[in-house]
Amino acid sequence: MQRPRYREELPADIGPFQKLLHEYTHLPAEQLDAHIRQIRDKAYAIAPYPGFGLWGFTRISVLEADPRYQLALSRLCAPNETEFFLDVGCGLGQNLRQLIHAGAPASKLGAVEKRHELYDLGLELFQDRFAHPQPELLVEDLIHSQSQVFLRRATILHVANLFHLFDWTNQLAIAHRLSNMLQDQLEGEEEKRVFIFGRQVGSLTPGARETKQGAEERYLHNQESFQRLWDSMYGVTGWHWKVEVEMLGKMPPGYAYLGEDARYQRFVVWRIPKTFSK
C-alpha cells in the first residue's frame, strides 16, 4: 500500500532525539530504534502527516535552536509560580519532554491536542504514563470548541505546524482562541511579556494554496501577511501584536504542491502592553 509522505529509514539527524529518549526513559540503546519506529507507525496510522511520515517529530534540535525556546526555558526554571507554558497541537508531546528533561517543572506545563490517541502514544513513547506531576492536557478542537480550561492561564504558547493547515478564516479563529489563553498581566519589558512562538510552513509569496488531497485550502504566510492576521485581532482582543518571522529554508521533497516559494519558518508573536499601544 502506498503511503504518501512516508519514509521507512530513520533520518540522518535523529541522534539528538535518540539521546533525549535514552536519557528520559533509560531504555537500552539497542532498543531505541525499534521503539521509535513502532510509535511512529502507530502515529502515522492515526494522523498521516509529514511530521510522522517524514520523522519531523524527531527533529528536536530545531526547537532548541530557537532563541524563544531558550527564553521560555529560563523563565520556566525561575523560582516563581507565574509562568505557564502551553504546547498547542502537541502531538506526541516531545517538546514537553524536552522542557522537562532540561529542568522545567511539569506542573508549569500544559498541552492541547485534538487527538487523545496521539498524546497517549507519547506516554508510550516516553514511558512516563505514571509520572507525577503530569503536564495538564486538554483534548479539543481549537476551532469548534469553546473550552475555558486554559482561559487566561498561559504566559507562553508554543504552536508548531498548526496555522498552515487552515485557511485565513480558520486561522483567525485559532488566533482568537490562542489570545484568550494568555494571561492579562506581564506587561513589562519584552523578555518578560506573554508571547506565542513556533514554526510553520510559509511562503515568499503569501496566499491561499490548494492541498495535494484537494481538501480545504490553506493560507501560507510571510512576515507581512502574518502580521496582518494578528492586526485583525485588535478589534476582538483589544491588544496589539508584534510579529517576527524568520525563513529557515526551502521545503524538502514531498511538498512541491505548495509551490516553489514555500519555506519553513519560525515565528514569534509578542503581545504589546496597552500602555505602549497607539
CATH of the domain at 89: 3.40.50.150
Establish if 34 belongs to a structural domain: no
DSSP letter at 10 equals P
Are 75 and 109 contacting, i.e. CB atoms less than 8 angstroms apart? no
Establish if 215 belongs to a structural domain: yes
Percent of residues in the chain assigned helix, strand, coil, to nearest 5 = 40, 20, 40
- How many domains in the chain? 1
Specify which residues 26 forms β-bridges with: none
Establish if 146 belongs to a structural domain: yes
- The cell numbers describing 267, all together, are 515565528
Establish if 94 belongs to a structural domain: yes
Establish if 92 belongs to a structural domain: yes
The terminus-to-terminus CA distance of the chain in angstroms comes to: 57
The SS3 of residue 225 is helix
Report which secondary-structure segment, H or E, holds 75: helix 67-77
Establish if 6 belongs to a structural domain: no
Are 65 and 21 contacting, i.e. CB atoms less than 8 angstroms apart? no
Are 73 and 103 contacting, i.e. CB atoms less than 8 angstroms apart? yes
pLDDT in tens, the chain (278 residues): 567 688 999 999 999 999 999 999 999 999 999 999 999 999 999 999 889 999 999 999 999 999 999 999 999 999 988 999 999 999 999 999 999 999 999 999 999 999 999 999 999 999 999 988 999 999 998 888 878 889 999 999 999 999 999 999 999 999 999 999 999 875 566 667 899 999 999 999 999 987 665 567 899 999 999 999 999 999 999 999 999 999 998 887 767 777 789 999 999 999 997 655 54
Are 263 and 204 contacting, i.e. CB atoms less than 8 angstroms apart? yes
Parent domain of 175: 60-272
Establish if 227 belongs to a structural domain: yes
Backbone angles phi, psi at 41, to 5 degrees: -65, -35
Establish if 28 belongs to a structural domain: no
Buried b (16+ CB within 10 A) or exposed e, 47-84: eebbbbbbbbbbbbebbeebebbebbbebbeeeeeebb
